[in-house]
Amino acid sequence: MKKALVTGITGQDGFHLTELLLGKGYKVCGLLNGQRNSRVIEFAEKFPQVELIQGDLTDFSSLIRAIDVSSPSELYNLGAISFVGLSFQQPELTADVTGLGPLRLLEAIRTLGAEKDIRFYQASSSEMFGKVQEIPQNEKTRFYPRSPYGVAKVYAHQICVNYRESYDMHVSCGILFNHEGENRGEEFVTRKISKGVVDIAKGRLDKIKLGTLEPKRDWGYAGDYVEAMWLMLQQNDPDDYVIATGKHHSVRDFLALALKIVGLDGDPESYVTIDKNFIRPAEVDLLVGDFSKAKNVLGWEPKTSFEELVQKMVEFD
Q: How far is the CB of 306 from ligand GDP (least distance, A)?
A: 14
Q: Would you count residue 78 as binding ligand GDP (CB under 6 A)?
A: no
From 7-15, 152-160, 236-244, 279-287, span contacting ligand GDP (CB under 6 A): 279-287
Instruction: State the number of binding residues for ligand GDP (CB under 6 A).
Output: 19
Closer residue to ligand GDP (CB): 60 or 144: 144
Question: Applying CB under 6 A, which part among 11-19, 59-67, 211-219, 257-265 lies near ligand GDP?
Answer: 211-219
Which region, judged by CB under 6 A, interacts with ligand GDP, from 36-44, 132-140, 188-196, 221-229? 188-196
- CA distances 108 to 3, 64, 250, 284, Å, are 17, 5, 41, 34
Of 88-96, 111-119, 155-163, 276-284, the segment contacting ligand GDP by CB under 6 A is 276-284
Among 68, 168, 186, 187, binds ligand GDP (CB under 6 A): 187
Using rule CB under 6 A, residue 189 touches ligand GDP: yes
Q: How far is the CB of 302 from ligand GDP (least distance, A)?
A: 17
Under rule CB under 6 A, residue 137 binds ligand GDP = no
The reply on whether position 84 binds ligand GDP by CB under 6 A is yes
The answer to the question of residue 251 lying near ligand GDP (CB under 6 A) is: yes
Between CA 228 and CA 231, with CA 229 as vertex, the angle to 5 degrees is 60
- From 16-24, 60-68, 99-107, 275-283, give the range in contact with ligand GDP by CB under 6 A: 275-283
DSSP the chain: --EEEEETTTSHHHHHHHHHHHHTT-EEEEEE-GGG-TTHHHHHHH-TTSEEEE--TT-HHHHHHHHHHH--SEEEE--S---HHHHHHSHHHHIIIIIHHHHHHHHHHHHTT-TTT-EEEEEEEGGGT-S-SSSSB-TTSPP---SHHHHHHHHHHHHHHHHHHHH---EEEEEEPPEE-TT--TTSHHHHHHHHHHHHHTTS-S-EEES-S--EE--EEHHHHHHHHHHHHHSSS--EEEE--S--EEHHHHHHHHHHHTT--S-GGGGEEE-GGG--SS---B--B--HHIIIII-----S-HHHHHHHHHHH-
Binding of ligand GDP by 185 (CB under 6 A)? no
Least Å distance, CB 104 to ligand GDP, is 23
A 10 A CB-CB count for 65 gives: 16
Selected range binding ligand GDP among 94-102, 159-167, 189-197, 234-242, rule: CB under 6 A? 189-197
Which listed residue (91, 185, 211, 246) binds ligand GDP by CB under 6 A?
211
Residue 274, strand partner residues: 210
Q: Is residue 155 near ligand GDP by the rule CB under 6 A?
A: no
Evaluate whether 76 touches 229 at the Cβ level (below 8 Å).
Answer: yes
Determine if 77 is a binding residue for ligand GDP (CB under 6 A). no
Residue (47 or 149) nearer to ligand GDP, CB: 149
Shortest separation between residue 272's beta carbon and ligand GDP, angstroms: 9
Residues that bind ligand GDP (CB under 6 A): 84-85, 127, 178, 187-190, 192, 210-212, 215, 217, 251, 278, 280, 283-284
